[in-house]
A and B are shown apart, each in its own frame.
Chain A
């Protein structure tokens, strides 16, 4: 994952994607800026209803833009109808044409773009071979497994040589086991793809594995963008903090002390001033039945257990009180503490386990 963390340098003039997408849909307004260089894989990450898919459809020309602009490799696509855009789309449930074989599905694009029947089929066979699907060329979509259908859809989108590849929740339709395998394959294919790829997902793992850069969209607007490592370390909204599993607070820093908007003060190792975010993982929180005497932790709050749930082999405790937070502890520790909803506890976090950064 470290190679993904390396920041990509900006878009060179004329190459790649430069978009400002504005779409009005009865009460919902999407206003998103997207820039990406050739070879970049950008993930639009966000909760359901954030407008990710609408952004993708605007890029493909399937919904009219109310404003903004869309340039691909220096050419404006604002007035280009969808069938003339150099854009390939992998739809969420693939939308393979059920009456055509895998081969004819892939040959459909080249055929529409003027290739002869024989040439289109030869090209399609080539793409199917590249994706390891030669044995399934004659199969109708209903006889393909989820993973195979996904690859046929990818081959169909790539067969028109798009300069912009769009993938809408490419792994959402797959079961957990297939998903692991297909995710790895897709990552390889996207790495080979020389133009811009934009994928939409609500799964942070998919986004972080597949993309070089994440653009987090909430309520039709971009709330944060950066490398996966940056976003995982420094979330800026509650939604992202929940996704990456961090406790996140906003506050006003003065040296090593941050006065949190939520109430109490918190000691950090960073020396900052002005508005900041403070984040720490639930595993950094220790819980105590009695106020720990002589503890080195300066960050100590009186809380109450609001809820408990198993989280892998751990127990996650939702706490309310002075500072609402999530804490992870082992099942044994939870039993020792006699935790139950309503139980009072002391929660402590070492300053070295927190991370503060300017808001």
Chain B
């Protein structure tokens, strides 16, 4: 199911006569479309190109081996992975609920679940503070009963990232679930499987590619998360200062370091995209 499709280039004529110049009359790309299209392409690619052009390649090894960079990178990777794990544990069952169980208000609930997708992350951070802050609606009880405080801790980073990233996973998994044939679950039921067994042994393996794609999207979103994190968890090096926060801070006093850090994030993003393309994007 996850086998990568053969490259499309295989079928393309490579040695034959070129026919690129010969166009059927009236089939060319109209200028009013071509010009903005190329401008759009340049607009998207120029900043990335600029990042590569201005990278201080000579001092790069020193920049990348500095303790601060590694600290921030490690914290980013750990917290993004933890946020993805939280999203998987809570998000996959939530997606199943939204896709498979018919209940009143399901449409509204789906809209609410995806709200963090469009909500400005800073607003998400403020909302998290009001909910889980030391004096927050629920945070007060967490503090009183369990002595747990989330704001301005690494756990708080994970919470902020999961809040922003989980909707990506839910949307992706729910879409896959809707596309998957529910009759497989029925077949499992007639064989004696409870609904949970049918989910665990039949549905989950069938939607694994969708879950994986959703997890990668969530992970990438968590890795780049800035607004909710800085609002809810603050900016303490080694504790809550993730890569994006470090980039922003470095830009104020050490632009070369900011470029180096950005380059690392760009490399991570590109490898994620490559992984997505080969494994999941092409199979459905």
Question: Which residues of chain A have a CB within 8 Å of any CB of chain B?
Answer: 60, 62, 82-85, 87-89, 91, 95, 97-99, 108-109, 112-113, 156-157, 160
Interface assignment of B10: CB less than 8 Å from any CB of chain A? no
* B residues less than 8 Å from A157 (CB atoms): 190
For the complex of A and B, 8 pairs with smallest distance between CB atoms:
A109-B191, A112-B192, A95-B187, A99-B205, A89-B190, A113-B192, A112-B193, A82-B189
* Contact for A108 among B181, B183, B188, B194, CB less than 8 A: B188
Interface assignment of B206: CB less than 8 Å from any CB of chain A? yes
* B residues less than 8 Å from A97 (CB atoms): 184, 187-188, 202, 205-206
Q: Within the complex, what minimum Cβ distance (angstroms) separates A165 from chain B?
A: 11
CA distance A85 to B205 in the complex (A): 25
In the complex, which residue of chain B has the Cβ closest to the Cβ of A108? B191
Q: Within the complex, what minimum Cβ distance (angstroms) separates B73 from chain A?
A: 36
* Contact for A89 among B187, B197, B205, B206, CB less than 8 A: B187
* B residues less than 8 Å from A60 (CB atoms): 190
In the complex, which residue of chain A has the Cβ closest to the Cβ of B205? A99
CA distance A113 to B189 in the complex (A): 11
CA distance A82 to B183 in the complex (A): 13
* Contact for B191 among A62, A98, A99, A112, CB less than 8 A: A112
Q: Is the beta-carbon distance between B193 and A108 smaller than 8 angstroms?
A: yes
Q: Within the complex, what minimum Cβ distance (angstroms) separates B209 from chain A?
A: 11
- Residues facing A in B189-222 (CB within 8 A) are 189-194, 197, 201-202, 205-206
Q: Is the beta-carbon distance between A88 and B190 smaller than 8 angstroms?
A: yes
Contact indicator per residue, chain B 1-26, by CB within 8 Å of chain A (1) or not (0): 10000000000000000000000000
Pair count A-B, CB < 8 A: 55
A112-B194, A160-B192 are known contacts; what are 5 more A-B pairs with Cβ within 8 Å?
A83-B192, A84-B192, A97-B187, A108-B188, A109-B191
In the complex, which residue of chain B has the Cβ closest to the Cβ of A153? B187
Q: A83-B194, A95-B184, A97-B184 are in contact. Are A62 and B189 (CB under 8 A)?
A: yes
Q: Within the complex, what minimum Cβ distance (angstroms) separates B180 from chain A?
A: 11
Instruction: Count B-side interface residues using an 8 Å CB cutoff.
Output: 18
- Residues facing A in B1-56 (CB within 8 A) are 1
* A residues less than 8 Å from B1 (CB atoms): 98-99
Q: A83-B194, A112-B197 are in contact. Are A99 and B189 (CB under 8 A)?
A: no
Q: Within the complex, what minimum Cβ distance (angstroms) separates A65 from chain B?
A: 16
- Residues facing A in B173-187 (CB within 8 A) are 181, 183-184, 186-187
Q: Within the complex, what minimum Cβ distance (angstroms) separates A116 from chain B?
A: 15
A62, A112, A157: most-surrounded residue (chain B CB, <10 A):
A112
* Contact for A109 among B181, B192, B202, B206, CB less than 8 A: B192
CA distance A88 to B187 in the complex (A): 9
* A residues less than 8 Å from B202 (CB atoms): 97
CA distance A109 to B193 in the complex (A): 7
Q: A98-B206, A99-B1, A99-B206 are in contact. Are A83 and B193 (CB under 8 A)?
A: yes
Q: Within the complex, what minimum Cβ distance (angstroms) separates A170 from chain B?
A: 14
Q: Is the beta-carbon distance between B186 and A62 smaller than 8 angstroms?
A: yes
Q: Within the complex, what minimum Cβ distance (angstroms) separates A79 from chain B?
A: 16
CA distance A344 to B89 in the complex (A): 77
In the complex, which residue of chain A has the Cβ closest to the Cβ of B183? A95
**Cβ contacts A to B, 24 pairs, < 8 Å:** A62-B189, A83-B189, A83-B191, A83-B193, A83-B194, A91-B183, A95-B183, A95-B186, A95-B187, A97-B187, A97-B188, A98-B1, A99-B205, A99-B206, A108-B191, A108-B193, A108-B201, A112-B193, A112-B197, A113-B192, A156-B191, A157-B190, A160-B191, A160-B192
